[in-house]
Amino acid sequence: MKKTGYGQARARSVLTKTLLVMKIWLLWLIPLGVSMAGTAHSQNLTLDLTDVTIREVLHTVESKSEYSFFYNDSFTDLDKKVSVHARNEPVRTVLDRLLAATGLTYTFMEGNLVVISPRPLPTQAVITGQVLSATDNQPLPGVNVSVKGTTQGTITNVDGRFSIAAGSTAVLVFSFIGYVPTEVPVGSQTTLNVSLAEDLTKLQEVTVVSTGYQDVDQRLFTGSVVKLEGSDVKTEGTVDVGRMLQGRAAGVSVQNVSGTFGAAPKIRVRGATSITGDNKPLWVIDGVVLEDVVNVSAEQLTTGDPNTLIGSSVAGLNADDIESITVLKDASATAMYGARAKDGVVVIKTKKGKAGKPQISYTGNFSTYLKPSYDNYNILNSVDQMSVYSELERKGLLNHSDVSRSANGGVYKKMYDVINEKYGVDDGGFELPNIASERRAFLQRYALANTDWFDVLFKNSFVQEHSLGVSSGTEASQLYFSTSYYDDNGWTIADRVRRYTANARATFKLSDKLNLGFITTGSVRDQRVPGTVSRQIDPVAGGYNRDFDINPFSYALNTSRVLTPYDANGQREYFTRNYAPFNILNETDKNYIDLGLLDLKIQGEAGYTFNKDLRYDFIGAVRYVKTTTEHSVEEGSNMAEAYRAANSQVVRQGNKFLYYNPDYPNADPVIVLPQGGFYNRTDDEMVSYYFKNQFAWNHTFNGIHQANLVIGQEIRQVDRRNAFNNGFGYQFSKGGVAFTDYRIIKQLLEGNFNYFGMGDQRERYASFYAGGTYSYKGKYVLNSTVRMDGSNRLGESTTARWLPTWNASVAWNLDTERFMEGVTLLDFLTLRAGYGLTANAGNATNASSIYRSGNTNRPYLDESESQVIIESLENSDLTWEKQYETNIGINTGMFNRITFTVDYYRRDHFDLISVIKTSGIGGEAYKAVNYADMKSHGVEIAAGATVFTRGPWSWATNAVFSYNKSRITNLRNQPRIFDLVFPDGGALEGYPVRGLFSVDFQGLNPSNGVPVFTNHDGIRSSDVYLQSLNISHLKYEGPVDPTVTGGFSNTFKYKNLSLNLFLTYQGGNKIRLNPSFQSSYSDLDAMPREFVDRWLVAGDEQYTQVPSIPDLVTLSQLGAVYPYNSYNFSSARVADGGFVRLRTVTLAYTLPSKFYGKTGLNNATVSLTGTNLWLLYADKKLYGQDPEFFTSGGVAMPVARQITASIKLSF
Amino acid sequence: MFTMKHSYSLLFVALLVVSGCSDFLSETPDNRTQLDTKQKIAELLVTAYPEGNYSMFCEAMSDNVEDNPTGTKNARNADPYFWRDATSTDQDSPENYWNACYAAIAATNHALEHIRSVPDSADYNDQKGEALVARAYAHFMLVNLFARSYDAGTARYNPGIPYVTDPEKVSFKTYTRGTVQSVYDNIERDLLAGLPLLNDDAYTKGDATGVARYHFTRAAAHAFAVRYYLFRRDYEKVIEHADQVFRNNDFVSNMRPWNSTYRTYSSTELRANYTKATEKANLLLCETSSTWASSFTGLEFSTGATRYNEMFAQSPAGGRYAFSTLYSSAGLYFIYKFREHFVRLGMNANTGYPFTIMPLLTAEEVLLSRAEAYAMLNRFHEGMADLNLWASTRIVDYNAGAHLLTYNKLYNYYQLPSTRDLIVTCALDFRRLEFLHEGMRWFDIRRHRIPVVHTTVAGDTLTLRADDPRRELQIPREAVSMGGLEPNPR
């Protein structure tokens, strides 16, 4: 609607202007022909008129005298109000006075005819030029250029260029918010290059908002946005750009769910917008959408699976290349991204070359991760742990026969094995006689071991990062080149990373009209992480499991401190896992994953300026990413040896890694990996293409009406391929010769697995958009955008494919109003309001039926068939997930030292995909349907202030606060108890998008210390059926996502020394404590310190909530009931998620320039940064468990405490 | 002005591009497959058989089971024992079987829709035949679990189950139950239309890689027809179809060799072989997503000493039954018929999906159905001959002299006045033994309106009367709330 309005308005004004020009021509003809006849006149006038128009004055004169006036009726000056007082004065004098303040003049003609005509202008020439910022020599777009004393004016384009007609006597005025207005006399010049100095008294809000489609003056921007300079965000020692945003931007919550290199943090802009979707913001770098290499949803980030390390493409970005980061938050800001913008957009601009002599900058970071320590975690020491074991032994839970036959075992199993198997060499006796005193002596060594697993598995690592950038250029071409090297030799003994990046950017100005740009970026990563397999959910007992987990952090937390890595002789000591010998040092040596990643992007840009108003831009980019994940399991590792553990019939029957051959139903399972280990390889490949064509039209009418129109089209194509190949019997020690037993393949195939496979994903998007902005004198701004997106994501159906989105928004720069002129304490004040529709394609692709080929699940290979299954019925109603958003915001600055931005928003999410249980009659019992609705709202506040400046001292502060709350208003799902009690929560109508629920803990059973709950039927019982659909007796704890997040930064400066303290905080969410309780424990388990308070005798239940270690009698009574698992999911195991963390402390010193001498240095800064040093506040129940980190094993590690020394030089 | 013109021309270009986009956007987003060849239609029909299992609840509702307090407790086993509406919707629950049947029906309907759309439909006759018969089968099983048994007098009034003949294409759709009569008529129409089109060679010859025993062969389709007409009490047709199952009516060599080969099997061999495709008695096999294979030997409500004695202690023919039964410490008696096929989630995972291979139609069922049909048509000699044929392969050291069933033996054993009742009762008893753990007994209890008494260790006695409304499983909750169906009375 709005767009058509604009079109009509413009057409009309152009038309009237044309007519006006024609009339003036006519007028010019008359004076030329008759001016020779001009004579003197002497008639005098007496007038006394107040506040009338000139037109009226002329009418009065006409009526009072013999003069007739001839003028063009459309001269606007005629409507100017004037007061004329004349007492018997000549007409000429009166007219002189009357027309002095106008652009009109008069000529006397024959017969008392007076022609009023425009004052002849001095000869005008077209002046062109460029406006640059004096600070960094960058072009300034949007600068107001006007001819002094007239209404004539224009605005500079994206490259800071302008052209304006002005006479030689004219003076051009360049004004731009945040810069000192500059006046330049034209003289004889036709080219004027001006550089504007920043107005230091008005530091704030000078910004240009880069949406990725356009650069807009912040005063004319109607959306909600956070703009951060690269230099402000950059945290030395932190590699991931996403992490740097934590606490910096209002409305952006960043949770470091894993600290491993490459693992993206969980980033949410204004909270979650989808129940089943990814909820990840869109990343846009230099105008091109950054696609993820593999799709890892926000929920998957917490799994610790290896693909979380390659999912995020941001990890390949060198933070030193970043010029600025803009986070687009509301529908008005993200409108240009239409149906992919529901989760917000993070726009990154990288650095460009600058004209001038080459500038070289170098940044070097040298940091170390501090080893974790048991002081921060509540794990029993070895003496306490051994006393728990002896309780287990007393209760019959570590008896000789069971333990010596079990798959996993620690010191007790070892003791029994020694008793059973080892004979003394000399006296022929047993090495360890089975006598109580001898056994005690054997265990004594372990009881006193108190192994510090953190010390064994972690190191104070050394990380170095070097980044070198060169910028150079002339007027016609600019170059920027940078390269960086990152080397982390590993916080643990099982990981290390190297990363190389290169970035080359060139911009060429081929003519005044045509410019070209090229960007080539590449990064290479080489990373080693501990060997791991994907985790699985066990819905029966409740919990996740991951076989062969050797994550050092999990290992240190979950392994008894009684165990020792080395035996008395200093040799590696092995205990038993999966019936095979296990030593963590040996395992990390022989079971590892190597990740290789190559990421290359080539981008081309072209711009053509038709005239001062119209411009065409093209961007095209190709990106190619290849990752290889090689999981090597060498012979001698526990994972390989477990396939060869078959030394007794008990082991053969119990070992699930042996092969039961259905062809010989009576035979024991046999070894099918006689030699070698595994070489499992996964290749992920992504090729993406992006093309954009855009026309932008900018025009200012009469210096008052500023209009801007953008119309464009873009295409995106993403092809992903995942291929895997599992190699069995690869002999690492024999030059890599494979020795494969055919039966292991047969075993796999009979188990319905394949040893290799490949899958493709193809995404196609085509979009068309148009947007317009109108501003009146920079006071009132109207903006509207419409966009049409098409995608293949929803499936083959052509009807569901297209979606239009739109928005409308306004801004009012209150400070420019006349009535505000007196308010001097206010620097600026802008009110904004916007409303619009954004969307995302949800996680359903069945706009037409989805058929998948597969194989039948049958036990015998010769009875197996290929089949085509209907994965999903056609859903002709399928559509995108959408939301309407209303945003109201204020930006203000006061006293030249305080800035303040507040935003309030309300979101109506609808057509969200929800999995719904259907009648089943159509053949699909659970369908993904656009059914769910959700509402959310929030407040964001960002405040900055220079608190204090006196002489060399200054103190600046910056605070960010965000609040977000969501409620699912419609969701017809049927969760089981199990779906809601997990650490990452579940979705339920009436609750937040992810709510944490608990089994309601009711105390301990006084007779045996077993926990009792309000169970699924509402009865007090130890028996909770976690798969029950009756969830009405669960206790709601709170949201899993924090409702409040923010940061608080303070910078103190004294001369060249500065100290920055940066705190981050979050709150309002609940955390499930690590699952430490089990029905039965082995002599491997490490227990948290709560176990000291455990129930021991009747009566303890009045004082403690920590359940007992059940004895055999209790266990047999429990049968198939899992109260201890339920306890892990109970209200007793929930902590508050709020925390305040000292995120970084930075002390920096800039060397005074007198030291630079002849070195050529411009600037030299050294700094020391401490990251994550102190958790100021967290719930005591956490006992050191990181409130951000999900202990999920695999490749996940918490964010380390880190100290970084950094040096920055520029020449 | 030119901007306006540009806008129009841009719009025009945009329109052109939009139409060009349709190809660009038609790219499939992943490795999904298209139904573009006959082979793929055939492969779609591999899933036209219900991958759910009715044995757990059918057994627990029947008189094959009793309360064994030390057995494993499980709602999917306990609810049906007390004829309560199911609280579980997991594998082996009535709702799961409902969903599995309709999923199978959806496969047939998608195949049939595709066949209707191709120009050379006749070329697809093999597939059309299979789809029609499979569609009839799944509906037949549903109507016999969720609606009243067929009775010519009331079938016209009793609600049936939705007979679905078109793919569902919208997010929510409502259905109507029709009547038992209309469902039965639809089944017959599909069965009779499909049966002549079936071609056994289509499953194995040419480029087909199928296993015929997992599909409706002609023999399997006739066996299904035998069941259909037996339940419909059209006995002439039972005999007519039963006679077409095996060439020369050779049942002996097609039945399970219980008193010969099976006697030599160890328990692990028996469970490896019982559900194999090479076992000739298995006319139709199906892999079901079910924990039945691992649970039927240990559940609380399963066959214990009392029921075992009731069934196996004596035979009307005399002699000892050759079924090899095992005994568990929980007091359960079972025949080791099934072996669990466990498909793990990952190569090294402990969790995964359990499958149980079930024989859906067998040679024995055809034989015993025919015996019943003969009796109902007063062709008693032929009925007796079928019963004797069965006994000859089920009695240890069978000796016709000692073990031949006679009217007299039957009369002495059952003490029933009519010859027809004697033969029918004997056939039902044989069926009860033969199909133990396979759920068939429940269908016989329904159609013969046999009362069932369940007792508990606590001393309660529950009776399911001949006309008890709980003989019909309750329609699943969402089928009522979302599907718009009438629930069964309670």
Distance, in Å, from the CA atom of B201 to the CA atom of B27, rounded to the nearest integer, reads 36
The 10s digit of each residue's pLDDT in A80-127 is 788 888 888 888 888 887 887 777 788 887 777 787 777 765 567 788
Exposure pattern of B255-286 as b/e (b: 16+ CB <10 Å)? Answer: bbbbbeebeebeebbbbbbbbbbebbbbbbbb
CA separation for the pair B409, B425 (Å, rounded): 13
Q: Residues A483-501: what's their mean pLDDT?
A: 92
Q: Which of A166-170, A596-600, B231-235 has the lowest mean pLDDT?
A: A166-170
Strands (DSSP E) contained in A206-251 are 208-210, 215-217, 225-229
pLDDT tops 50 at residue B448? yes
pLDDT 10s digits, A1101-1128: 888 888 888 877 777 777 656 788 888 8
Q: Which of A537, A868, A923 is opposite residue B40, by nearest beta carbon?
A: A868
Per-residue pLDDT at B355 exceeds 70: yes
Smallest CA-to-CA distance from B297 within B437, B434, B92, B438 is with B437
Average pLDDT, chain A: 84
Band (B13; pLDDT cuts 50, 70, 90): low
Nearest to A239 by CA among A458, A466, A480, A457: A466
Question: Two tokens at B40?
Answer: 């793929």
Dmax of chain A from CA atoms? 148
Convert the pLDDT of each residue in A317-356 to its tens digit. Answer: 888 899 899 999 988 888 888 888 888 999 999 998 887 7
If contacts are CB pairs under 8 Å, which of residues 187-246 in chain A contact chain B?
Answer: none
Predicted pLDDT at B337: 93
Number of residues written out for chain B: 490
pLDDT digits (tens, 9 = 90+) for A138-152: 777 778 888 877 777
Reported as a pLDDT band with limits 50, 70 and 90, residue A33 is: very low
- Among A27-36, A384-393, A396-405, the range with the most confident prediction by mean pLDDT is A384-393
8 Å CB contact of A865 and B483: no
Q: Report, as an integer, the average pLDDT of A768-796.
A: 88
Percent of chain B with pLDDT over 70: 94
Tokens standing for B330?
């929980």
A834: confidence class by pLDDT, cuts 50, 70, 90: very high
Q: Which pLDDT score is estimated for A1?
A: 33
Number of other residues whose CB lies within 10 A of the CB of residue A613: 18
The pair of three-digit structure tokens given for residue B120, joined into one six-digit string: 């050379």
Give me the mean pLDDT over the A622-634 stretch: 93
B95 at A interface, C-beta within 8 A: yes
Band the pLDDT of A25: cuts 50, 70, 90. Answer: very low
Residues of chain B contacting residue A866, judged by C-beta atoms under 8 Å apart = 43, 46, 209
- The residue among B311 and A48 whose pLDDT is bigger is B311
Facing residue for A751 by CB, picked from B72, B266, B344: B344
Mean pLDDT of B448-468: 92
Is residue A369 over pLDDT 80?
yes
Which two tokens mark A1092?
């000291």
Predicted pLDDT at A1109: 84
Sheet holding A225-229, edge to edge: A225-229, A322-328, A345-350, A282-285, A288-290
Looking at the complex, does the CB of residue A876 fall below 8 Å from at least one CB of chain B? yes
Q: What DSSP element (H or E) covers B111?
A: helix B94-117
Q: What is the dihedral of CA B55, B56, B60, B63, to 10 degrees?
A: 20
Burial tier of B486 (Cβ tally within 10 Å: 0-12, 13-18, 19+): exposed
Enter the DSSP assignment of A965: E
What distance in Å separates residue A918's CA from the closest CA in chain B?
Answer: 6
Q: 3-state DSSP call for residue A943?
A: strand
- What is the CA A430 to chain-centroid distance, rounded? 63
> What does the block give as tokens for A332?
């008005």
Smallest Cβ–Cβ distance between A713 and the set B17, B106, B479 belongs to B17
pLDDT at A12: 36
CB A234 within 8 A of CB A244: yes
Listed as own residue / partner, the contacts of A284-287 with beta carbons closer than 8 Å and 24 or more positions apart are: A284/A212, A284/A337, A284/A345, A284/A346, A284/A347, A284/A348, A285/A317, A285/A348, A285/A350, A286/A348, A286/A349, A286/A350, A286/A519, A286/A603, A287/A212, A287/A213, A287/A605, A287/A619, A287/A692
Place of tokens 């290499």: A293
Judge whether residue B122 has pLDDT over 90. no
| Strand pairing report for A191-196 and A124-133 | parallel
Point out the residue among A715, A763, A927 whose CB comes nearest to the CB of B29: A763
Does A666 contact chain B (CB < 8 Å)?
A: yes
- Determine the pLDDT at residue A121: 59
The stretch A1153-1173 carries a mean pLDDT of: 83
Closest CA to A838 of A343, A314, A97, A397: A343
**Which tops the pLDDT comparison, A636 or A78?**
A636
Q: What integer pLDDT is reported at residue B12 of this predicted model?
A: 58
* Residues 507-546 in A contacting B (C-alpha not used; CB under 8 Å): 533-534, 536-540, 545
pLDDT at B25 over 50: yes
**Touching check for A764 and chain B: CB below 8 Å?**
yes
Q: Which residue in A757, A751, A671 sits closest to A722, CA to CA?
A: A757
Residue B450 pLDDT > 90, yes or no?
A: yes
Residue of A924, A923, A754, A760 whose CA lies nearest to A855: A754
Angle at A1024 between CA A1022 and CA A1030, to 5 degrees: 145
Can you tell me the mean pLDDT for A922-945? Answer: 91
Please answer whether residues B303 and B395 qualify as being in contact, where contact means their C-beta atoms are separated by less than 8 angstroms: no
CA A1050/CA A1062 separation, integer angstroms: 6
DSSP A1088: B
For chain B, say whether A923 makes contact (Cβ under 8 Å). Answer: yes
B165 touches chain A (CB under 8 A): no
* pLDDT 10s digits, B417-443: 899 999 999 999 999 999 999 999 999
Q: Evaluate the CA torsion angle B90, B95, B101, B102 in order and state its sign.
A: negative
Q: What pLDDT is attached to residue A907?
A: 93
Three-state secondary structure of B408-469 = HHHHHHHCCCCHHHHHHHHHHHHHHHHCCCCCHHHHHHHHCCCCEEEECCCCCEEEECCCCH
pLDDT at A39: 42
Phi-psi region of A279 (alpha: psi -120 to 50; beta: other; left: phi over 0): left
Region A484-497 average pLDDT: 91
Highest mean pLDDT among A17-26, A206-215, B281-290, B339-348: B281-290
Residue B3 predicted with pLDDT over 60 = no
Residue A305 has pLDDT above 90, yes or no: no
Beta-bridge partner residues of A467? A363, A484
Q: Exposed, middle or buried by CB within 10 Å (0-12, 13-18, 19+), for A9?
A: middle
A1048-1073 tens-digit pLDDT: 999 999 988 999 999 999 999 998 88
- At A678, is the pLDDT very low, low, confident or very high (cuts 50, 70, 90)? very high
Distance of alpha carbon A593 from alpha carbon A527, whole angstroms:
8
Q: Give the model's confidence band at A522: pLDDT under 50 very low, under 70 low, under 90 confident, else very high.
A: very high
Contact (CB, 8 A) for A575 and A1084: yes
DSSP A857: -
Give which of B9, B19, B30 to mutate to test A binding, by max A Cβ within 10 Å. B30
Assign A1082 a pLDDT band (cuts: 50, 70, 90): confident
∠ Cα B383 B388 B392 (to 5°): 155
pLDDT at A19: 40
Q: What is the pTM of this model?
A: 0.81
Spatial separation of the C-alpha atoms in residues A1169 and A1163, rounded to whole Å: 19
**Alpha helices for A131-240 (secondary structure H):** 230-233
Q: What is the pLDDT of residue A548?
A: 74
Q: Which of B33, B168, B172 sits opposite A868 (nearest CB)?
A: B33
pLDDT value at residue B19: 57
Amino acid at A128: T
Which residues of B, range 111-150, sit inside 8 Å of A by Cβ? Answer: none
Task: With cut-offs at 50, 70 and 90, classify the pLDDT of residue A675.
Answer: very high
CB-neighbour burial class of residue A18 (10 A; exposed 0-12, middle 13-18, buried 19+): exposed
pLDDT level of residue B15 (50, 70, 90 thresholds):
low
The count of residues in chain A is 1211
What pLDDT digit, counting tens, does each position of B33-66 carry? 888 889 999 999 999 999 999 999 999 999 999 9
Please report the beta strands in B13-144, taking only residues with DSSP state E, as ranges in sequence order. 66-67
- Strands A881-894, A1020-1021: pairing kind: unpaired
The pairs formed by A653-662 with CB atoms below 8 angstroms and a separation of 24 or more are: A654/A405, A654/A407, A654/A579, A655/A407, A655/A578, A655/A579, A656/B350, A657/A578, A657/B348, A659/A743, A659/A744, A659/A746, A659/A747, A661/A743, A661/A746, A662/A750, A662/A859, A662/A860, A662/B272, A662/B339
pLDDT at residue B348, as a whole number: 67
- For residue A200, the model assigns a pLDDT of 56
For position B338, what pLDDT does the model report?
Answer: 93
- Chain B residues with beta carbon closer than 8 angstroms to that of A793: 29
ipTM reported for the complex, 2 dp? 0.90
A29 pLDDT band, cuts 50/70/90, is: very low
**Interface membership of B106 toward A (CB under 8 Å):** yes
- Per-residue pLDDT tens digits for A634-654: 999 998 999 999 888 888 888
Q: Which pLDDT band holds residue B161 (cuts at 50, 70, 90)?
A: very high
Most confident of A170-184, A1178-1192, B373-387: B373-387
Lowest-confidence segment of A313-317, A780-784, B466-470 by average pLDDT: A313-317
What is the rounded CA–CA span in Å between residue B392 and residue B364? Answer: 12
Whole-number Å distance between alpha carbons of A449 and A708: 74
pLDDT above 90 for A163: no
Residue A197 sits at φ, ψ, to 5 deg, of -85, 145
pLDDT confidence of A410, banded at 50, 70, 90?
confident
CA distance A720 to A704: 50
| Average pLDDT of the residues of chain B | 90
Return all residues near A1178 (Cβ < 8 A) that are at least 6 apart: A1138, A1139, A1140, A1187
Report the pLDDT value the prediction gives residue B11, as an integer from 0 to 100: 55
In a 13 Å sphere around the CA of A1027, the CA atoms on its Cβ side amount to 15
